[in-house]
Amino acid sequence: MIPTLLPTYARAPMSFVKGEGSWLIEADGRRFLDLGAGIAVNALGHANPLLVKALTDQAEKLWHTSNLYQIPQQQALAEKLVDLTFADTVFFTNSGTEACELAVKMARKYWYEKGHPEKTDIIAFTGSFHGRSSAGIAAAGSEKMTKGFGPLLPGFIHLPFGDHDALTAAMTDTVGAILIEPVQGEGGILPVPDQCLKGLRDLCDEKGILLIFDEVQCGVARTGKLFAHEWSGVSPDIMMVAKGIGGGFPIGAVLATEEAASGMTLGTHGSTYGGNPLGCAVGCAVIDHVSDPAFLAEVNRKSGRLRQKLEGLVAAHPDVFESVRGAGLMLGLKCKATNTDIVKAGYDNLILTVPAGDNVIRLLPALNITDADMDEAVTRLDATATAFTKS
Q: Among 73, 95, 303, 339, indicate the residue that binds ligand PLP (CB under 6 A).
A: 95
Edge-to-edge strands of the sheet including 360-363?
321-327, 330-335, 360-363, 354-356
Query: 162-192 burial string, b = 16+ CB within 10 Å, else e?
Result: eeeeebeebbeeebbbbbbbbbbbbbbbbbb
User: Which conformational region is residue 275 in: left (phi greater than 0), alpha (psi within -120 to 50 degrees), or beta?
Assistant: left
Q: Which of 21, 45, 127, 131 binds ligand PLP (CB under 6 A)?
A: 131
Our CA dihedral for 131, 129, 10, 93, rounded to 10 degrees, sits at -20
Q: What is the DSSP string of 31-58?
A: EEEESSHHHHT-TT-BT-HHHHHHHHHH
What residues between 61 and 90 interact with ligand PLP by CB under 6 A?
none
Residues 30 to 49: which contact ligand PLP by CB under 6 A?
39
Distance CA(169)–CA(156), nearest Å, equals 15
Select the residue whose beta carbon is closest to ligand PLP and give its number: 96
Contact by Cβ (8 Å): 187, 358: yes
Interface mask toward ligand PLP for 334-373; x: CB under 6 A: ----------------------------------------
Tell me which residues in 279-338 interact with ligand PLP (CB under 6 A): none
Q: Segment near ligand PLP (CB under 6 A), from 14-22, 128-136, 151-159, 194-202?
A: 128-136
Is the CB of 210 or the CB of 240 nearer to ligand PLP? 240
Q: To the nearest whole angstrom, how small is the minimum distance from the Cβ of residue 131 to ligand PLP? A: 3
Among 192, 242, 306, 343, which residue interacts with ligand PLP (rule: CB under 6 A)?
Answer: 242
Region 190-219 residues binding ligand PLP, contact defined as CB under 6 A: 214, 216-217
Count Cα atoms within 13 angstroms, Cβ side, for 137. Answer: 14
Q: At its nearest, how many Å lie between ligand PLP and the CB of residue 69? A: 26
Task: Tell the smallest beta-carbon distance from residue 183 to ligand PLP (Å).
Answer: 9
| Binding segment toward ligand PLP, per CB under 6 A, in 48-56, 178-186, 291-299, 312-320 | 178-186
Among 22, 42, 58, 97, binds ligand PLP (CB under 6 A): 97
| β 351-352/31-34 pair status | parallel
Residues 6+ apart with CB under 8 A from 169: none
Cα 202 to the center of its chain, rounded Å: 24
188 or 224: CB nearest ligand PLP: 188
Part in contact with ligand PLP (CB under 6 A); list of ranges 72-80, 129-137, 144-152, 348-356: 129-137
User: Tell me, what DSSP letter sits at residue 243?
Assistant: G
Judged by the rule CB under 6 A, the positions of this chain that interact with ligand PLP are: 39, 95-97, 100, 129-131, 181, 185-186, 214, 216-217, 242
